[in-house]
Structure 1
Amino acid sequence: MKRTVLKFGGSSVASIDKIKDIANYLSRRVKDGEQLIVVVSAMGKTTDELLAHVHSITDSPNEQDLAMLLTTGEQQTISYLSISMNDRDIKAKPLTGFQAGIETVGHHLKSKISKVNTKLFDHLFLTYDIIIVAGFQGFNDENEITTLGRGGSDTTAVALAAALQCPCEIYTDVTGVYSIDPRIYPEAKRLKVVSYEEMMEMSALGAGVLTSRSIEIAKNYNIPIYLGKTLSQEKGTWIMPTIEMLEKKAVTGVAVDKDMIHITLNHPAYYPQLLDDIFINLEQEEINVDMISQIANNEGLQLSFTMKDTEEHQIQQIFKRLRQDYPELYFKIEDQFTKVSVIGSGMRDMTGVASKVFRTLIEANIPFYQVTTSEISISYVVDAKYGERAARLLCERFEL
Structure 2
Amino acid sequence: MFLRIAGLIVPSLILLCGAGLLLPITAQLSNEYQQILTLTPYLLAIVVTLLGYGFNRSRILFAALNLSGAYWLIQNGLQTSLNQPDAFVLFSSISVLLPVHMGLIAFYKERGLFTPLGISRLLFIITSYLVLYLTWANGSLGLYLPDLPMSMLEMLLHEYYLSEAAAITFSICIIPILLSFTLRRTYTDAALLASFISALIMLSWFNHPLISALFVSASLIALAISVVQNSYRMAFIDELTCIPARRALQDKFSTLGKKYTLAMCDIDHFKKFNDTYGHDVGDQVLKMVAAKLNQVSGGGKAYRYGGEEFTLVFPGKSEAEALPYIEQLRETIANYPMHIRNQNRPDSNEKGQQMRSKPDDGETVSVQISIGVCEKTADIADPHGVMKKADEALYTSKKNGRNCTTAVHFKPEQKPKRRGQRKDYA
Give the structure-1-normalised TM-score: 0.27
Greater strand proportion:
1
Give the structure-2-normalised TM-score: 0.26
Larger Rg: 2
